[in-house]
Amino acid sequence: MNRRSWAEPFKIKMVEPLRMSTLDEREQAIAEAGFNTFLLRSEDVYIDLLTDSGTSAMSDRQWAGLMVGDEAYAGSANYYHLEAAVHRYYGYKHLIPTHQGRGAEHILSRLMIRPGDVVPGNMYFTTTRAHQELAGARFVDVINDAAHDSLDESPFKGNVDLAKLERLIADVGADRIPYLCLQCCVNMAGGQPVSLANIAATAALCHRHGIKVMLDATRAVENAYFIKLREPGYGDKSIEEILREICSHTDGCTNSAKKDSLVNIGGFLCLNDDGLAEQARNLVVLFEGLHTYGGLAGRDMEAMAIGIGESVQFEHVRARVGQVEYLGRQLAAAGVPIVKPIGGHGVFIDAVRFLPHLSREELPAQALAAALYVDSGVRAMERGTVSSGRDPDTGKNIVPRLELVRLTIPRRVYTQAHMDVTAESVIALHEEPQRVVGLRFTYEPKYLRFFQARFEPVEGGVVLRPSAKAAERGVVTGATGQ
């Protein structure tokens, strides 16, 4: 067999030691955190798969870029470097930097939404929808049905359902729809990409009705990689070319540079319309900072400019998405129910199928994330009922079809061995799912509740009961050997 593997296109120059904890320590830490992995101290975490946001390892060139930060209040040289990078790789006319993605979402929502408007999108994202609602709009999901089905293996599960969109336009009228928010590698669907054919068709439909299309470009580079792999006609195109083509159909974007763009903080808003850009530059001064820094230090903008250039390198994206696939394949091979196809930024476990003994009210994904931490010190995140929040009109819990635990892989940070340790812990829990105890809320904040909510086990005080199997074999539980 002629087998040739890919390997990471970098070697490691500096290391950050990890602390392994004992089972007792982890049981105490998760109880103190109200069984919410967001409230754990990072020093108590062994392998941190909470998010791929702001957690990338920067390259030596990016670190060197920090040293040429021009910290002028106005007109920093680094702003112009960033502007050049965004023009080259994303292609939009106007760039407004922001401190991170939600800063751009805030400005865009305030700028374009009037109370009573409707904003369609290919599935919600938490901060995006929250800003749309704060500005007085209602979000309407127009993603295709396959996205809500963890078993459906369609290659572009992020696609917009054009019939749903057309119906919405007919129902509410195009003048109540300021823009459609088009997300790449749809996060809440499991990192599922959108095809270029669908992007083009969606944009054509919107533009025919005078509706703008705003890209959530947060993971557009990873989406471009999937297009190259899966969409006929794109195999020979570079990531750079595909990214430009995606953006060319849209009127602007919000971007969290903490993902694709390989920085620890940063984001931006782009607009092609001169008038809108002028208004956005005016708003950004109020909420973020002057339009040539938008809440960022000059050095941050330099790291972002360099990171954007690195992010579109084929070898980089292949290794990044390849590592996610490596973890996903191990879990799938062991029969763990995961969202298929494996997404771009993480592996998403279907907690309802993983924990059939729990009801939806017992918050299976929240419970599984907490139990995984107790087992091995791996920190994951709930993406289900808790993240969905409450309906702003009825106040009732929104119970989404997908109840997921996200194992999110930071870029360029962990090795294959870390993926192995993670897989072993998930598989061990999957062999004895009854060990996992359901949770209920003890505190629920008003906005984006998943970040700060607290919980308690519905019985017995612990979220993970001792392993009968491990006791039989005479070993102690926990992938860290504790």
Closest distance of CB 241 from ligand F0G, Å: 23
* Interface stretch with ligand F0G, choices 96-104, 239-247, 347-355, 434-442 (CB under 6 A): 96-104
Contacts of 273 (CB under 8 A, 6+ apart): 251, 252
Asked whether 477 and 470 are in contact (CB, 8 A), the reply is: yes
131 touching ligand F0G, by CB under 6 A: no
Distance CA 30, CA 46 (A): 13
Catalytic, 383? Answer: yes
Of the candidates 303, 227, 270, 261, the residue with the CA atom closest to the CA atom of residue 91: 270
Nearest approach, Cβ of residue 381 and ligand F0G (Å): 7
Q: Determine the Cα–Cα distance for residues 165 and 450; give it in Å rounded to an integer.
A: 29
- Return the residue of 56, 78, 187, 202 that touches ligand F0G, per CB under 6 A: 187
Rounded Cα distance between 429 and 46, Å, is 17
Binder of ligand F0G out of 106, 228, 249, 258 (CB under 6 A): 258
CB 351 within 8 A of CB 363: no
Taking CA 457 as the corner, what is the angle to CA 453 and CA 460, rounded to the nearest 5 degrees?
155
| 218 near ligand F0G, rule: CB under 6 A | yes
- By CB under 6 A, residue 256 contacts ligand F0G: yes
- Complex with ligand F0G: residue 51 or 56, whichever CB lies closer: 51
Question: Minimum CB separation from ligand F0G for residue 50, in Å?
Answer: 7
Nearer to ligand F0G, 53 or 78 (CB): 53
CB of 280 to ligand F0G, least distance (A): 17
Is 73 annotated as catalytic? yes
CB of 128 to ligand F0G, least distance (A): 5
Are 221 and 243 spatial neighbours (Cβ–Cβ below 8 Å)?
yes
Beta bridge partners of 346: 408
Give CA–CA dist 423/330, Å, rounded.
Answer: 7
Angstrom distance (rounded) from CA 471 to CA 432: 12
Determine contact, residues 196/242, Cβ cutoff 8 Å.
yes
362 lines the binding site for ligand F0G (CB under 6 A): no
Residue 149 carries which side chain, given as an amino acid letter? D
Select the residue interacting with ligand F0G from 21, 37, 56, 127 (CB under 6 A): 127
Q: Which of 21, 53, 56, 330 binds ligand F0G (CB under 6 A)?
A: 53
Catalytic site residue 126? yes
**With CB under 6 A as the contact rule, which of the stretches 2-10, 94-102, 322-330, 456-464 interacts with ligand F0G?**
94-102
Q: Tell me if 101 contacts ligand F0G by CB under 6 A.
A: yes
121 - beta bridge partners?
Answer: 141, 181
Give me the phi and psi of 377, to 5 degrees please: 80, 10
Q: Which is nearer to ligand F0G, 217 or 242 (CB)?
A: 217
Total binding residues toward ligand F0G, as defined by CB under 6 A:
15
CB nearer to ligand F0G: give 77 or 297: 297
Of 34 and 101, nearer to ligand F0G (C-beta) is: 101
Measured between alpha carbons, how far is 478 from 372 in angstroms, rounded to an integer? Answer: 9
Q: Does residue 259 carry a catalytic annotation?
A: yes
Alpha carbons 377 and 425: distance in angstroms, whole number: 9
**CB of 299: closest distance to ligand F0G in angstroms?**
18
Q: Judging by DSSP bridges, how do beta strands 94-98 and 381-383 pair with one another?
A: unpaired
Q: How far is the CB of 418 from ligand F0G (least distance, A)?
A: 18
DSSP bridge pairs for 267: 98, 256
Catalytic residue among 216, 251, 260, 375: 216
Catalytic residue (choose from 37, 126, 385, 477): 126
**Which residue of this chain has its Cβ atom nearest to ligand F0G in the complex?**
101
3-state secondary structure 155-221: CCCCCECHHHHHHHHHHHCHHHCCEEEEECCEHHHCCECCCHHHHHHHHHHHHHCCCEEEEEHHHHH
DSSP one-letter string for 238-251: -HHHHHHHHHHTSS
Closest CA to 192 of 154, 218, 228, 164: 154
Q: Is 150 in the site for ligand F0G (CB under 6 A)?
A: no
Token pair belonging to 112: 């374009």
249 binds ligand F0G (CB under 6 A): no
Whichever of 101 and 298 has its CB closer to ligand F0G, that residue is 101
Q: Which of 450, 455, 477, 480 is catalytic?
A: 450
Active site residue 441: no
Tell me how far, at minimum, the Cβ of 183 lies from ligand F0G, in Å. Answer: 5
Catalytic residue among 157, 212, 259, 449: 259
Measured from the CB atom, the residue of 345 and 435 that comes closer to ligand F0G is 345
Q: Where in the sequence numbering do the catalytic residues fall?
A: 73, 125-126, 216, 259, 383, 450
For ligand F0G, the binding residues (CB under 6 A) are: 51, 53, 100-102, 125, 127-128, 183, 187, 216, 218, 256, 258, 267
